[in-house]
Amino acid sequence: MGRRTTASIWKTTGMYRYDEFDAAFVMGRTAQFADQVKRRISGELSEDQFRPLRLMNGLYLQLHAYMLRIAVPYGTLSSKQMRKLAHIARTYDRGYGHFTTRQNIQFNWPKLKDIPVILEELASVEMHAIQTSGNCIRNVTTDQFAGAAADEIIDPRPVAEIIRQWSSLHPEFSYLPRKFKIAITGSPNDRAAIRFHDIGLQAAVNASGETGWEVWVGGGLGRTPMIAKLINSFVPHEHLLAYLESIMRVYNRYGRRDNKYKARIKILVHEEGLESIKGQVEAEFAEVRGGVLTLPQEELDRITAYFAPPDFADRSDDKIDVAYESIIDPAFGRWLDNNLHPHRVSGYSSVTVSLKPVGGAPGDATDVQMDVVADLAEQFSYDELRVTHEQNLVLPHVAVRDLRAVYDVLVANGLAEGNNNLITDMICCPGLDFCALANARSIPIAQEISHKFASPERQKQIGDLKIKISGCINACGHHHVGHIGILGVEKKGGELYQITLGGDATEHASVGKIIGPGFEADQVPGAIEKLVDFYIAQRQGEGETFLEAYRRLGEAPFKEALYGTA
């Protein structure tokens, strides 16, 4: 076991904690960036030279102001860290932050002069903004229920942390052809959309019963959506970094750099073919395998120890009667129905805290809400919090007996929407209201849809339905993998919205298809309603979800329902 040092200030287990080395690293990086900012202000660095440096420190120039994107490694936060984010929102921004589809948080209104102070504040709680942007390996994302889910083969967070370390300021891979995103899941039920990442890792068990990783490569959304392809069905833990480095090297050397829209690894895999890329990766792997990147079991054990489960009090006899609660308090009943996820320890549950109130901006949380959730985590969830790629928060370890208390606090703070996985639980990018790239607004569309389907009874009737909204072709709102996807485009100076059907981000991955001509903004909620009504009329009982019905019926009848002709 490596030595624990004074830099560890956490009173609980369950997450990685910085030692002196990590602290020195983040401090060095913060100082380096402060120097770069100074040289930019003095004019020594041109904007062209500065841009990649600031991006690799999470600093974007947006439509109205700078935007700072802060890394939440694999979506895990402590209450102390969440309180720091609340403090930053309150002190340096306009009192709120926006949780993103990469499990990060971004602040839309910081002043450039405050950035170094914000980074220092973050460093004080072992956080940073490193590699949340730029053509480098980005924050590794994972299942929001990692370490808690009943269906998990292995907790992916220790390996995610090892990948985080390996990829941080990697000298060979800091100027890649394009950004590079890795997602990892320890569960066969993919909640991390790993097949839509540059590299997706899924826990696998081989014939000898050993746990390792399926490696998927070349997935992505954006203007050319691609489902990742399986490049290796079993890489053991000890060789995973060597295998990843082999993929990165092939991509760095041969990924296209002539056209930024064709520079992701998905295009390389698509153009050269999986077999060719696999051959190159395996040849590289043969050279580096067993070398300096071999992960010793002791190191894996040492990192894993940080993520040891909390010392759960025995609550195995506790039960909650959802049917009974629903009669007493229907809203609480709905929340119990939708916002709980099965926990591996009996008597506990993982709670999704919805950031999708009717009429709200999906993923936004105020400073007060962040503080409230931090308090709840400290009191009821062993100090742990998660950010989901669907832009909600999670209290991963709540005892069943505490659910009512947690719920009551959430209600008082506008966080108790019982809509997880329902039609109003939408993913939505910031869109033209904030983003310099967007062609169309997306938040107002989400707000209108949520008003249209605000009735809880209606949402329950519709059941699981994922709507995902992007304000431009870059697909930050994941519209390609929405059961219903909405894509804002610019047409003749106005905003128009295309609708796609049949996307799916899970292990049954599929890319949605554009169903027909686009709609004006005010027609979108009506169009969604037509599709939903048609589904309800056609489904084979309440058990058949929208996606299942679409897959059974095909595109044509939905198209007819929407446009009146086949």
Partner 1 sequence: MGLPKLAPAQAAHDKLKALGILALNGMFDEMDAVGVLRYAVSDVLPGDLAIVSSFGADSAVLLHMVAQVDPSMPVYFLETGKHFRETLDYVETLKRQFGLINVHAIHPNPNDVARFDPNGDLWETDPDSCCHIRKTEPLEPVTEQYGGWVTGRKRYQTVERGVLPHFELTSDDRIKVNPLAYFSDADVIEYRQKHNLPEHPLYAKGYKSIGCAPCTSIVAEGEDPRAGRWRGLNKKECGIHYDFSGAIANPMTAANRHTLWKDGAFIADPFRDWEEGTNPSEARYVHVPLPVFLANRAEFLANPHPLGLLVSPGEKIEDAEANLSRFASIAIRFPAFSDGRGYSTARLLAERYKFAGEVRAVGDVLQDQIPLMRRCGFNALVVVHEPTRQALIENRLPEVAVFYQPVGVTEIPLGTRPFLRRVS
Q: What residue ranges bind partner 1 (CB under 8 A)?
A: 2-3, 5, 19-21, 24-25, 28-29, 32, 35-36, 39, 43-46, 48-49, 52-53, 135, 162, 165-166, 168-176, 249, 252-253, 257, 287, 292-293, 295-296, 299
Residue whose pair of structure tokens reads 């904007």 in the numeric block: 47
Cβ nearer to partner 1, comparing 5 with 189: 5
Closest distance of CB 256 from partner 1, Å: 10
Q: How far is the CB of 439 from partner 1 (least distance, A)?
A: 26
Strand residues in 370-503 grouped as ranges (E): 384-387, 393-399, 427-428, 467-470, 484-491, 494-501
To the nearest whole angstrom, how small is the minimum distance from the Cβ of residue 250 to partner 1? Answer: 9
Between residues 21 and 563, which has the closer beta carbon with respect to partner 1? Answer: 21
CB contact at 8 A, 125 and 203:
no
Q: How far is the CB of 85 from partner 1 (least distance, A)?
A: 24
Nearer to partner 1, 131 or 439 (CB): 131
Query: How far apart are CB 21 and partner 1 at their closest, in Å?
Result: 6
Nearer to partner 1 among residue 48 and residue 317 (C-beta): 48
Specify burial of residue 246 (Cβ count, 10 A radius: 0-12, 13-18, 19+): buried
> Judged by CB, which is closer to partner 1: 3, or 11?
3
Answer for the pair 240, 296: CB distance below 8 angstroms, yes or no: no
Q: How far is the CB of 27 from partner 1 (least distance, A)?
A: 9
Nearer to partner 1, 162 or 235 (CB): 162
At its nearest, how many Å lie between partner 1 and the CB of residue 31? 8
> HEC states along 335-352?
HHHHHEEEECCCCEEEEE
Instruction: Pick the closer one to partner 1 by CB: 175 or 563.
Output: 175
- Least separation, in Å, of the C-beta of 292 and partner 1? 4
Which residue do the tokens 């901006």 mark?
Answer: 361
Q: Which is nearer to partner 1, 172 or 522 (CB)?
A: 172
Return the exposure string of 260-284: e unless at least 16 CB atoms fall within 10 Å of the residue's CB, then b. Answer: eebbbbbbbbbeeeeeebbebbeeb
Rounded distance, CA 92 to CA 111, Å? 7
Burial of 465 from C-beta contacts in 10 A (0-12 / 13-18 / 19+):
buried
Choice between 36 and 103, CB closer to partner 1: 36
Q: How far is CA 407 from CA 332, 349, 354, 553, in A?
A: 7, 13, 11, 39
HSE-CB for 79 with a 13 A CA cutoff: 20
Q: Quick one: which of 139, 224, 132, 223 has its CA closest to 183?
A: 139
In angstroms, give the least distance from the CB of 236 to partner 1: 16
Q: How far apart are CA 115 and CA 138, in angstroms?
A: 20
Whole-number Å distance between alpha carbons of 548 and 113: 51
